[in-house]
Amino acid sequence: MNPLLEDFNTPYNSAPFSKIKNEHYKPAFIKAIKLAKKEIDAIVDNSKVASFNNTVEALDFSAELLGRVSSIFFNLNHAETSEEIQKIAKEVSPLLSEFGNDIGLNEKLFKRIKSVYENKANLTLSPEQTTLLEKNYKSFVRNGANLNNTDKETLREIDKELSQKSLSFGEKLLAATNAYELHLTNADGLAGLPDGVIEAAAMTAKEKEKEGWIFNLDYPSYIPFMTYADSSDLRKEMSFASGSKTNKGDDFDNQENVLKIVSLRHKRANLLGYDNHAAFVLEEQMATASGKVIGFLTKLLEKSKPIALKENEQLTNFANKLDGTSSLQSYDAGYYTEKLKQELFDLDDEKLKPYFKLDNVIKGAFTVANKLYDLNFEEINDIDKYHEDVITYKVTDTSDELVALFYADFHPRPGKQNGAWMTSFNNQFIKDEVNNRPHIVNVCNFTKPTETKPSLLTFGEVTTLFHEFGHALHGMLANTTYPGLSGTSVYRDFVELPSQMLENWCYEKEALELFAFHYETGEVIPLDLIKKIKDSANFMEATRMLRQISFGMTDMAWHSTNPAEIKNVVNFEQKAMGETKIYPHIEGTCFSTGFSHIFDGGYSSGYYSYKWAEVLDADAFEYFSKNGIFNKEIATKFKQFILSKGGSEHPMELYKKFRGQEPDNDALLRRAGLLA
């Protein structure tokens, strides 16, 4: 018996993780692909004239089993991987690429899709059906349906190799991250570090049966060390370890993967008739073209860089006054920024962390969702978890109807990638009059509880939790007919709107007083601290914006340049980042070889979307803030036109239905304090 191929017969049809063994995955993939091919054959061989129902709709509902197996396996490959799982991933990824090509390059299937598309003027279709038809037709064209047979075979080989190289990139990055540790046995190296950080490092050492303290490249260890450690030498060592981890010419080196991935993407785009990969990707985004993206980022650069240089001058003068440091390196920035923030605002994370116990912040996010969207969250223990750290919840509406299952996975561990993300084990769709509700996952890497303290979050981690929970709400509240348009299946430069939007509540008194309680005394966060949070919201904002612009520019450079012109990863990266840099490059480091968003995470030619979506979220939150952050009428419109609609209509049309107008592009600059 293979549990992946059987009816789950579990509460809410949840994944039976305790029954699934590694040896089940590959046979399940093979069986699911075989079944999906039969479903495609049934569509192609249908003797009836191609129609929306028997062709377009049937295609979107096909391969349901394969989708289920894939979502479980690849989610675990990111959150709970092992050498065996990584080996399976390498074996099945080419099979999936081949299957994807079997569909995209199926001439008979495309002929039926094209027939329906060319007859759409005579059909009575809903906006969602029209969108699905257009998406399917464009997807076939954009993925080689019009190629000759020789070029189709070339495309298959490219896609197969791309899937392998992307997997390799992620595996090397995770292995390199796990391989490094800073082992301190002399307490002098701990100077400046908060007690909780020291205790966590001691606990890590104890777990590894070592004396002293161990710091590593996981965010809850790395970021506090770089922020508080007094030793510039140790900060430099940690920074170099992070920046060079996949750029050393060893087994973890990703330079070859980077060059090969961009080369394959460029070759693929050319084969399909596009100048480059960026042109291919952006055709189906709100931005539409690389020139528009570059123009957008350049405008932000022009507004932010002069102010960022002044911020750097202020920081350098402060460092010189504080301890005689006359010039700053990148590994100094976090340390002195925190010190300056303490001086200017009498505010630091150590003052705030006692008010942000993880359990309370989770409940706070739930309360905000309840006040805005009438959602209720109940912790349940009758469904399987893939790791003991995971917490599971049943999400219901005011009628006690199931809205979603929610899996929360919040602490780092070996086998779990760094960072934070939202994904799903089961998507929402409506079939045979049954609304299949989604199973949504949030994965983060927050500090673990210690022997004396619960998990306490920095304010940055609070906003991260709300950000990912905003994505989760987009998935939970999905209410479309077709799985291909459900939830976060939207344009990449629109998908960040719900997540970045929810971060705004972290700065508001009405919201903070719902969950910011001192973990020992129960005292609600004082008004003066709330004011300091608000007052410091734009502290070093231009520098932060410049950093994001830098990443966006680098992404666009990699995917709009002919790879034949790229000879060296580091040199190319430095040129791409040139106008955005403040600190000198540290020899031996490279950002791109660890840039998982674009080489292993689906954001290629799309990293700009974080700033693009910030324009939308700044404009949208202005609407809330002028009328009340818990205004029910506005929240209902956001739920109705943004969160529930997925990709069922063009995002600008959905946004205008919510907002009543197109977004004001200056809203972001106003919020950031960058408008004169």
List, in sequence order, every beta strand (DSSP E) within 397-508.
402-409, 421-426, 429-431, 434-436, 439-443
Q: Which residues of 429-454 are buried (b: 16+ CB within 10 A; e: fewer)?
A: beeeeeebbbbbbbbbbbbbbbeebe
* DSSP code per residue over 99-161: HHHHHHT-HHHHHHHHHHHHTGGGS---HHHHHHHHHHHHHHHHTTTTS-HHHHHHHHHHHHH
Do residues 145 and 104 lie in contact, with contact meaning Cβ atoms separated by under 8 Å? yes
DSSP 394: E
- Calculate the dihedral angle through the C-alpha atoms of 425, 429, 435, 439, rounding to the nearest 10 degrees: 10
Place of tokens 């205790």: 199
d(Cα 175, Cα 73) in Å, to the nearest integer? 19
Provide the 8-state DSSP code for 584.
P
Asked if 338 is an active-site residue, the reply is no
Rounded to whole angstroms, the Cα distance separating 591 from 555 reads: 11
3-class SS letters over 645-671: CCCCCCHHHHHHHHHCCCCCCCHHHHH
Contact 422, 487 (CB under 8 A): no
- HEC-encoded secondary structure of 320-332: HHHHCCCCCCHHH
E strand or H helix at 1: none
Measured distance CA(552)–CA(571) in Å, rounded: 17
Both structure tokens of 131: 């969108």
- Cα(380)–Cα(392) distance, rounded to whole angstroms? 6
Token code pair at residue 613: 């979506």
Of 419, 144, 85, the closest CA to residue 270 belongs to 144
CA angle, corner 569, sides to 566 and 575, nearest 5?
Answer: 75
* Residue 303, token pair as written in the block: 């507004």
- Both tokens of 594, joined, read 């660890």
Query: 468, 503, 541, 573: which is the annotated catalytic residue?
Result: 468
- C-alpha torsion angle, residues 9, 12, 14, 16 (rounded to 10): -30
In contact, 235 and 223? CB cutoff 8 Å: no
536 touches 653 (CB < 8 A): no
Distance CA 414, CA 182 (A): 16
Burial (Cβ within 10 Å: 0-12, 13-18, ≥19) of residue 121: exposed
* Cα gap 315→56, rounded to integer Å: 58
- Nearest Cα neighbor of 526 from 512, 536, 538 is 512
Residue 567: count of CB within 10 angstroms of its CB: 9
- Spatial separation of the C-alpha atoms in residues 380 and 397, rounded to whole Å: 16
For the chain, what is the radius of gyration of the CA atoms? Answer: 25
The answer to whether the CB of 321 falls within 8 A of the CB of 595 is no
Active site residues: 468
